[in-house]
Copies of this chain bind each other. A is one copy, B any other.
Amino acid sequence: MESQDLRKAGLKVTLPRLKVLEILEKTEQRHLSAEDVYKALLAMGEEIGLATVYRVLTQFEDAGLVSRLSIDGGHAVFELEDGTHHDHLLCVRCNRIEEFTDEVIEERQRAIAAEKGFEMTDHALYIYGICQQCQK
């Protein structure tokens, strides 16, 4: 019962919120654009407006339920937040997204921010390339 997740996040329990959460949980691909979620809702028979999908995803982000990645400018994808920070590899051919974690890089980033006098608030690391399948 994910109603609890919503209440815990201080959000009223509404059908759009429950359904968006359900899509995020049940869709095989972990990284979905607002449009992807919208289409999945339509395919499921739920007529939820795209504006609502955007609003809900933003609220979920604010509540820490999902995280947003900003791909190549002007196009975001969302994924359920699982508490473990990770970065991404993106295939420029098929748009596959893979995840990785690297503590060496994380540590170097902290060191660089400190060197430059920056109080780091966030970071984004994307490795672009051609995935194994697409190389054949």
A residues with a Cβ closer than 8 A to B are: 70-76, 89, 91-92, 98, 100, 102, 104-105, 108-109, 112-113, 115-132, 135
Contacts and interface: CB of A to CB of B under 8 A. Distances in A.
Contact of A73 (B74, B91, B116, B125): B74
Nearest to A96: B118
Question: What number of copies of this chain does the assembly contain?
Answer: 2
A75 B72 contact: no
Given A102-B108, A118-B127, 18 more contacts: A72-B124, A73-B76, A89-B113, A100-B112, A102-B112, A105-B108, A109-B125, A109-B127, A116-B131, A117-B131, A118-B131, A120-B128, A121-B128, A122-B128, A122-B129, A124-B124, A124-B126, A125-B125
Contacts of A117: 131-132, 135
